[in-house]
Amino acid sequence: MKTFPLDARDAHGPTARLTSVLVFLTASACAQGESASQEVRADSSAVAALIGHGDDWATDFSKISVPPEEIVPGGPPKDGIPAIDEPRFETPAQAALWLEGSDPLVVVEHGGEVKAYPLAILLWHEIVNDHVGGRPIAVTFCPLCNTALVFDRRLAGRTLDFGTTGRLRHSDLLMYDRQTESWWQQAIGRAIVGELLGAELEFIPANTFAWEVVRNLHPDALVLSRATGHRRDYGRNPYVGYDDPSGSPLPRFFLAEEDPRLPAMERVVALDVGDGWAAGFSSLSDVRVVNDSVGDLSFAVVWTSGAASAVDRSQVSAGRDVGQTAVFDRRLADRILTFEWTGGAMRDRETGSGWDLAGRAVAGPLQGQRLRGLPHGNHFWFSWVVFRPNTEVWKR
């Protein structure tokens, strides 16, 4: 059985939270779906447990939509894992001095600007408050769930900025906004405690790509710098072996009923459409491209190899190849395209045009056209389905 010793050099770092995951998951029950408006009455002892000892909160704990016992300390205190509030960036040439081709990065594109955020840095900070193309965004990553998600920070006429609560729910990061100190479930982008209870953040399309892909697709991208103002061993993975499929720590921690449709630690590409849609990486790696529809939305999912797991080996770049995905709206003008993987590239069957992972037609009759990217995530199966238990699982 694997153990995860606390790094003595970083007693309030992300490794510390692993020591309390067992406590949390033992107490948790399988989710029956998430309600955006339901309030749960919390007694004084439950509220006291939420507040904890030593943390100073201005949160309105009388407003809560989940059972308080589902929320537990993750190890570090409030802001013990520090968000990056004044991110600095470097050129691809500068980033290439420390990033390897397989290093995974979260890529966000808006208003003609492209920024990339290495998971090697996000492992240690989990939140970056930033702007891309003038749009205020929060780039978030929960290592325990493999959820790399990006949100618009604007809500009801004001711009929020986020920090880490030091708490978990269903093993997922709970963020808080500094304006009202409401608590937000990262996996669904919804406030579950506090003044903004039930409010939802807008998901921003983003991809997690290997560095080699990023610099080829976006040679002018700005890359988050290691000059964060904090001393961390960027590039080192403090969760060594966390997602090892032959010896995952999850059975040790996750005592709630599992959804048997996929292995708990299977990576899935997932879309928050309908009741949810997900496809396992193991199936995607065989077919490379999936064409599907949910309601009025027709979309294509593409998987390629080349991206390392950030929570496998001691160095992020040395992690085993788990692949990378992109998701696009298949509608282009007045037609719906059908995609396939052939000749080492993605092509549409209707015109034979070739497409890249940024959704751009790079060859053929449609060259110069671009597909709309769709918000999605590459979650561990257990962390996706606990919030969307009725999700549709794609099968070949």
Map out the domains of the chain as residue ranges: 1-249, 250-255+263-393
Specify the pLDDT at position 38.
Answer: 66
7-27 as b/e: b if 16+ CB within 10 A: eeebebbbbbbbebbeebbee
pLDDT > 90? residue 15:
no
Percent of the chain's residues with pLDDT above 70: 85
Among 19-28, 73-82, 188-197, name the one with the lowest average pLDDT.
Answer: 19-28
Among 60-69, 128-137, 152-161, 224-233, name the one with the lowest average pLDDT.
Answer: 60-69
pLDDT > 80? residue 179:
yes
- Which pTM was predicted? 0.90
